[in-house]
Structure 1
Amino acid sequence: MGSIHAYTTSQGERYRVAYRKPDHSQGSKRGFTTKREARLFLASVDVAQARGEFVDPAAARTTIAELGPAWLARRRHLKASYYRSLESAWRVHVEPTWGEFPVGRIQFTDVQAWVSKLAASHSSTTVSRNYGVLAGILDDAVTDRRLPRNPARGASLPRRTKKRRVYLTHTQVQILADSAGDKRTLVYTLAYTGLRWGEATGLPVRDVDPLRRRLTVNENAVNVGGRIIVGTPKSHEVRSVPFPAFLASLLAGESAGKQPEQLVFGDGERHLRSPDSRDGWFVNAIARAKLTDKDFPTLTIHDLRHTAASLAISAGANVKAVQRMLGHASAAMTLDTYADLFDDDLDAVATALNQVKMSTVVVELLSQRPAKALQIR
């Protein structure tokens, strides 16, 4: 319940609505030009409180700049590299544009116009991340009853285009490894185990089992703002990864003279950093291997992980084995990522169905012959 009071201004008579908030504090809103408008507002307040949907107009004046830091702070538990991308999106794109806006003033059309403007000059991944930060902050505003709904939800985002993957053959991997100098074993390891760069460069000697030919992936070393952060693998789960026999002696050579806790690759103490994409050892190895033709326009370190999946599948590995090797969350994720590599399996399904069909027809024909012969006699 509440009350309506008239007051006089230089523009004429106006009305103020006084009401009790759910916490029993006093609330009010003024500036209504007619008593009918004031009554309708008071009725909407009563209905919203009865439904538990009341939003305090004063709370809607809180700005994005006030809510953003708290939203980020609650994501400190995320992987350091991912958290940094969120912090960068907030600092570079979201806060400069939306910081001074009260959450109650943000409209869907404003958000959509911002997304469209970003899409004209930034990648779909960057746009989606920036939008996600703003939408997440507004989700908090809804939860805190500062807004009745999130005005950002439902915006049209640019479609993500998949980068063309590169799969090297056994011969191409060998040529590339031989061209990589002292990184030869590292190239082989990436191309035949599917380890991520941070998993390989963070691999300690103790996690190499030459007898079982297994690598135990416990850690992932990620470069975050120029600093190497060591944490759990991307999936947060330890996994055991097989490696082919020829790698055993190469890994033993990298581990020679090192303590169990030291790193396999590099000097044992410092994590190797990603090679420079313009003039690093990997780019130079590609040039020496002559893998720069039209088939390999954008070969990257990560493509060696894709190559490992390709080589494993071509060797007969099923999707579950590939999932475990790569550390994917599910076999469905592996299928979604490498669906193009399972085309031969589809051909095999068609062939198998055809064989079953033909054999069934033959059996049926043979089973009918005696009966037909009896009828003729």
Structure 2
Amino acid sequence: MGSITSYESASGKRYRVRYRKPDHAQTDKRGFRTKRDAELFLASIEISKARGEYVDATAAKVTIGELGATWLKSQTHLKPSSRDAVEIAWRLFVEPMWGDIGVGTIRHSEVQTWVSQLGTGDAKTAHNAGPRSATVVIRAFGVLAAILDVALRDRRISSNPARRVSLPRKKKKQHVYLTHNQVGLLAEQAGAKATLLLTLAYTGLRWGEAVGLRLKDLNTLRHRLSVRENAVRVGGVIVVGTPKTHASRSVPFPDLLTFHLAKTAENKSPDQLLFGDGMTHLATPSAHDGWFVAAVTKAQAIDPSFPRVTPHDLRHTAASLAISAGANVKAVQRMLGHASASMTLDTYADLFDDDLDGVAVALNVQAMSSNVGKMWANSSTGPLNNPV
């Protein structure tokens, strides 16, 4: 227990409370006008310590800027591209608004207002860029919430004011799926990049995974590609790491690619890159010009109904073609390298919905060839026409 003592001040008699913090360091608080006030304060301190809810008022003065800098340095587990996105969110949105504010003074309502203002373009940011998308808002909020979680674990605050904040909903982007004929047409316009384009469309590899393939990852006998590396551009530099989910995987490819992949691999050593010159990772195609946009433009000139697509849409195309060929959700998950089958279902719910019609048709075909079909289908003498 702590102690209470009185002392004389210029304003009269006052009381001081001495107590020990959870780390056993002694501290005090003075200025109480009555002994009763001092006793109530001391009781609240002892209760908060017993419940594990004690917050050091001095520790609560640390700013988001100070704690955020330390938190950022600890995010070494993130993929380079993810870390880059987090640092941008911190620099542009979180630090300008919260950098000088002590963690103990932040209120839930203030966080909610900030989230809303990011969406409308009224929030304080590094530069006035107007309303931000739901993705950007959620990422910025996530950075602030994570920093406040650190403050909570360090017992600088008793609760995280960023929790239970209403966030904007992400608009689900409509997927673009090419048909086999459209894939072929696009490949014809891609010139020397045709094999790479076909590989993307028929394996579902991410761009970084495809350009990270090495000759030793190609098995033409088993029709497999071993995905072990992911080459992504971060801050203008290609960074090579593990695949997005950190796990390597074996991805099948159709036999139509065998000859073309083998041709691509000619005169290369096992450790050289499969695509390109073997030494340099191919850069992600520009969204505005370059070989991929040129190929799409040529395809649209031939077929006006050809959709505007990006390299990532070829990943969606691979999922669509696999599902239409009869692949189940688990097979598609493994092919795409999703963390779970539920993620595959969430991403391609529209494709699996189409499969429901196929299920009904298949069930009907099998039922009609059995006694059930003979008894029930289009029969005026079936059980339903003679209810009990």
TM-score (norm: length of structure 1): 0.90
Q: SS in structure 2 opposite 1:216? A: strand
| Greater mean alpha carbon deviation, residues 333-342 or residues 299-308 | 333-342
Query: Are 2:18 and 1:8 equivalent residues in the alignment?
Result: no
Query: Are 2:118 and 1:118 equivalent residues in the alignment?
Result: yes
Classify 1:349/1:178 alpha carbon distance in 2 versus 1 (closer, same or farther; 3 Å): closer
Query: Are 2:107 and 1:96 equivalent residues in the alignment?
Result: no
Alpha-carbon separation, structure 2, partners of 1:294 and 1:152: 47
Deviations 1:238-296 (A, max 9, x none): 11111111111111221111111111111110000011111121111111110796773
Q: Which residue of 2 aligns with 1:221?
A: 231
Query: Are 2:56 and 1:56 equivalent residues in the alignment?
Result: yes
Q: Which residue of 1 aligns with 2:178?
A: 168
Match for 1:296 among 276, 288, 307? Answer: 307
Q: SS in structure 2 opposite 1:132? A: helix
Alpha-carbon separation, structure 2, partners of 1:177 and 1:25: 71
Q: Which residue of 2 aligns with 1:374?
A: none
Q: SS in structure 2 opposite 1:223? A: strand
Classify 1:222/1:361 alpha carbon distance in 2 versus 1 (closer, same or farther; 3 Å): closer
Q: SS in structure 1 opposite 2:332? A: helix
Contact 2:338 2:344 in 1 (8 A): yes
Alpha-carbon separation, structure 1, partners of 2:69 and 2:152: 17
Deviations 1:1-21 (A, max 9, x none): 3315455356x7655433222
RMSD: 2.4
Alpha-carbon separation, structure 2, partners of 1:345 and 1:221: 34
Q: CA deviation at 1:236?
A: 1.4
What code does the residue aligned with 2:53 have?
A: E
Q: CA deviation at 1:41?
A: 1.9
Q: Which residue of 2 aligns with 1:81?
A: 81
Q: Which residue of 1 aligns with 2:125?
A: none
Q: Which residue of 2 aligns with 1:127?
A: 137
Q: CA deviation at 1:95?
A: 1.5
Deviations 1:313-349 (A, max 9, x none): 1111111211111111222221111111112321234
Classify 1:266/1:35 alpha carbon distance in 2 versus 1 (closer, same or farther; 3 Å): same
Match for 2:216 among 202, 206, 218? Answer: 206
Match for 1:284 among 291, 294, 299? Answer: 294
| Greater mean alpha carbon deviation, residues 78-87 or residues 344-353 | 344-353
Q: Which residue of 2 aligns with 1:194?
A: 204
Q: Which residue of 2 aligns with 1:158?
A: 168
Classify 1:321/1:184 alpha carbon distance in 2 versus 1 (closer, same or farther; 3 Å): same
| Greater mean alpha carbon deviation, residues 244-253 or residues 26-35 | 26-35
Contact 1:180 1:281 in 2 (8 A): yes
Contact 1:4 1:39 in 2 (8 A): no
Q: Which residue of 2 aligns with 1:375?
A: none
Contact 1:7 1:16 in 2 (8 A): no
Classify 1:146/1:352 alpha carbon distance in 2 versus 1 (closer, same or farther; 3 Å): same
Classify 1:279/1:4 alpha carbon distance in 2 versus 1 (closer, same or farther; 3 Å): farther
Classify 1:202/1:55 alpha carbon distance in 2 versus 1 (closer, same or farther; 3 Å): same
Classify 1:351/1:279 alpha carbon distance in 2 versus 1 (closer, same or farther; 3 Å): closer
Alpha-carbon separation, structure 2, partners of 1:23 and 1:340: 56
Alpha-carbon separation, structure 1, partners of 2:54 and 2:305: 61
Deviations 1:115-136 (A, max 9, x none): 1111121111111111111111
Q: SS in structure 2 opposite 1:302? A: helix
| Greater mean alpha carbon deviation, residues 95-104 or residues 303-312 | 95-104
Contact 1:103 1:138 in 2 (8 A): yes
Q: CA deviation at 1:207?
A: 0.8
Q: SS in structure 2 opposite 1:296? A: coil
Q: SS in structure 2 opposite 1:185? A: helix
Match for 1:273 among 263, 280, 283? Answer: 283
Classify 1:123/1:178 alpha carbon distance in 2 versus 1 (closer, same or farther; 3 Å): same
| Greater mean alpha carbon deviation, residues 329-338 or residues 34-43 | 34-43
Classify 1:56/1:318 alpha carbon distance in 2 versus 1 (closer, same or farther; 3 Å): same
Contact 1:193 1:325 in 2 (8 A): yes
Contact 1:56 1:146 in 2 (8 A): yes
TM-score (norm: length of structure 2): 0.87
Query: Are 2:165 and 1:143 equivalent residues in the alignment?
Result: no
Contact 1:199 1:217 in 2 (8 A): yes
Contact 2:212 2:231 in 1 (8 A): yes
What code does the residue aligned with 1:96 have?
A: P
Alpha-carbon separation, structure 2, partners of 1:275 and 1:285: 11
Q: CA deviation at 1:43?
A: 1.4
Q: CA deviation at 1:49?
A: 1.4
Q: SS in structure 1 opposite 2:18? A: strand
What code does the residue aligned with 2:167 have?
A: L
Q: Which runs of no fewer than 5 residues in structure 1 stay unpaired? A: 370-377
Contact 1:20 1:26 in 2 (8 A): yes
Q: Which residue of 2 aligns with 1:264?
A: 274
Q: CA deviation at 1:308?
A: 0.4
What code does the residue aligned with 2:9 have?
A: T
Q: SS in structure 1 opposite 2:297? A: helix
Alpha-carbon separation, structure 2, partners of 1:84 and 1:286: 30
